[in-house]
Amino acid sequence: MTDLTALTIAEARDQLKARAITATELTSAYLKAIETANGALNAYIAVTPDKALDMAKASDARLAAGKAGALEGIPLGIKDLFGTEGVHTQACSHILDGFKPHYESTVTSNLWADGAVMLGKLNMDEFAMGSSNESSYYGPVKNPWRANGSNADLVPGGSSGGSAAAVAARLCAGATATDTGGSIRQPAAFTGTVGIKPTYGRCSRWGIVAFASSLDQAGPIARDVRDAAILLKSMASVDSKDTTSVDIAIPDYESIIGKPLTGLKIGIPKEYRVEGMPEEIEKLWQQGIAWLKDAGASIVDISLPHTKYALPAYYIVAPAEASSNLARYDGVRFGLRVPGKDIVDMYERTRASGFGDEVKRRIMIGTYVLSAGYYDAYYLQAQKVRTLIKKDFEDVFHAGVDAILTPATPSAAFGIADQDLASDPVKMYLNDIFTVTVNMAGLPGIAVPAGLDSRGLPLGLQLIGRPFDEETLFQTAYVIEQAAGRFNAPKWW
Ligand code: GLN
């Protein structure tokens, strides 16, 4: 029999509906792949085979009864940030040891309601803080890709490193992920997969462990643009449990795929040409421009003048919100408790041993920028900068630009335990230079693979859209995907 894990979601869906394969066969193929390859890649931190097979069986029954949902029988991996009822949910932190929620996040509920099957929980940077998946309590994830002629382990990007690696290595058909400053798009770019961060408010945040609530959004990582469109349609919803989710009709994203780009205006922001950016990235960007032009889009140069303030402002706003959100982990309500001589001592010991270094760094920065005397100088100032960044985008969209094309990341995947990055957190933060603006402005952004660098590693381009216009992103990204071709990671099993 052909390898079932080679099927995209769209292909598997069609074969399941035609009863050419069963959900149980498909799920078993993925469980076998996980069993073989996960020891090496560390993409899953909890596998749920019994649950997966039960769900697959129920899918087969619905398929037989002609009652299939949009994702009936499709096996997915779930980032450990999503609350999954009765199943390991720890945001890959030690402080949430043993936590199994009594609830299900809205996004995962939506997926199960459409018939998807859960394979397990995916590794990530602790509390989604990071760009390399190295801050996970469960250890780093390996990128399934290798540079030409090298066997050195590379990072899959972060924070959704487990999601991206699992999709690239075919350990799931698709995965959920979240993006606060780039955590869907950067790992997608590092692994040759497609990742979309939808508009803030498109997906409910309810039941997802909070990092920075005004920036966090859920979205899919998938093997191709069509699969990402199918997954987002299912994940998105307005939700009375998240008042920032928005009641705007969710289009059938898949139906836009393949539509010509005639009449679309694509903006190229000069501020995304940063100093020290490798020549290869510039070349890739130019190639992307040429592809979109060939497909009928018109290209215009634009300026987003406040771009250079986005990263510093993000690293004030995100830690500020994180320091507040993470105050709830006190050893009383969830997870780890380290006993102390009194309650304050217990809090201190629990938080000291429960949080990793990067999380502690964010809590300290966040507490500092929110403290009396510094609030106006840092937090308030960063909020003002955020408004200016948003206005830059509003101005170009107002002038008729439909979408903006940029590189997704300033480099390809780097090595695990890269000393240069490990010794300087600010260097690690620079990974997000092209992605954080999108979160600051609440806009949708998609990363799509567009080529390989000279070492044979995937590189991605990013498209940024108007609020709630994910459709144009799928339409445009598909053109890039068609021109660039698909990039398959080496097989691990
Ligand atoms: N890398 C960024 C950070 O560490 C973004 C993380 C994310 O999007 N969750 O904050």
- C-alpha 465/C-alpha 470 separation (Å) is 7
What is the Å distance from ligand 1's center to 178 Cα? 9
- C-alpha 322/C-alpha 324 separation (Å) is 5
Q: Is 51 a catalytic residue?
A: no
What is the Å distance from ligand 1's center to 362 Cα? 11
- C-alpha 49/C-alpha 53 separation (Å) is 6
82, 125, 132, 221: which to mutate for ligand 1, most atoms within 8 A of CB?
125
Question: Residue 276: its pLDDT value, please?
Answer: 82
Q: Long-range contacts for 248-256 (Cβ within 8 Å, ≥24 apart)?
A: 248/202, 248/468, 250/202, 251/470, 251/471, 253/229, 253/470, 253/471, 253/474, 254/10, 254/226, 254/229, 254/230, 254/474, 256/229, 256/471, 256/472, 256/474, 256/475
Alpha-carbon dihedral angle through residues 364, 366, 367, 370, given to the nearest 10 degrees: 150
Give the residues of the chain that fall short of pLDDT 70.
1
Kindly list the protein residues whose Cβ atom lies closer than 6 A to any atom of ligand 1.
128-131, 159, 179-183, 211, 318, 432
Nearest atom (ligand 1) to Cα of 436? 5
What is the Å distance from ligand 1's center to 330 Cα? 23
Nearest atom (ligand 1) to Cα of 129? 4
Q: What is the DSSP letter of 91?
A: T
What is the Å distance from ligand 1's center to 129 Cα? 5
* DSSP codes, 429-463: HGGGTTTHHHHHHT--EEEEEEEE-TTS-EEEEEE
Q: Is 234 a catalytic residue?
A: no
* 248 in Cβ contact with 210 (< 8 Å): no
- Name the catalytic one among 105, 109, 136, 159: 159
| Nearby residues of 50 by Cβ (< 8 Å), 6 or more positions away | none
* 197 in Cβ contact with 185 (< 8 Å): yes
Nearest atom (ligand 1) to Cα of 130? 4
Question: Residue 1: its pLDDT value, please?
Answer: 53
Nearest atom (ligand 1) to Cα of 182? 8
* 264 in Cβ contact with 298 (< 8 Å): yes
Q: Is 183 a catalytic residue?
A: yes
Domains of the chain: 4-259+446-484 (3.90.1300.10)
Integer Rg of the chain from CA: 21
Q: What is the DSSP letter of 210?
A: P
Q: What strands lie across the sheet with 174-179, from one edge to the other?
A: 44-47, 117-122, 75-79, 174-179, 217-222, 194-197, 445-452, 458-465, 403-407, 265-269, 298-302
